[in-house]
Amino acid sequence: MRAFKISIALLITIILGSIVYIYWLNTTSNNLLSKIDKLEDAVQSNNWSAAEKQLDDIQKGWEKTEKWMTTLIDHQEIDAIKITLAKLSQYVHYKEVADFMAESATLKLLIKHIPGKEKINLSNLF
């Protein structure tokens, strides 16, 4: 009976941990997506100084987030986001609006994909 209680307690701990983890991923992803939207607005209005500041804010936030995500998420996705951020930095530096918007859409797709990939559902289990 004692082993059963311990097993149930561990199961509940795992489920609660998963819920907190998914909530954190959703919150972090939504925060990054809103910052990217602001960055896109600055680029579309040709406000390059604001775009550089916003991109710097995104990159600093990503560096903090990346430390935690690397322990939990596939490294290829982390690398793809880092590469996309590097490209965005150059597009902002050289004021390339069309290229920036295309790469920004890629970054948004990569970030939206993370919580969906990590959620517990049948398509992720099989």
Quick one: average pLDDT of 119-125? 63
pTM: 0.86
Domain 22-125 has CATH 1.20.120.290: yes
Q: How far apart are the first and last CA of the chain?
A: 32
Residue 72 reports pLDDT greater than 90 = no
Q: What is d(CA 32, CA 104) in angstroms, rounded to the nearest whole number?
A: 12
**Closest residue by Cα to residue 48 from 83, 100, 85:** 100
pLDDT in tens, 16-68: 998 898 899 999 999 999 999 999 999 999 999 999 999 999 999 999 998 88
- Give the residue among 61, 57, 44 at the shortest CA–CA distance from 100: 44
Nearest-10 crossing angle of helices 97-118, 2-44: 170
Domain ranges of the chain: 22-125
The answer on pLDDT for 119 being more than 90 is no
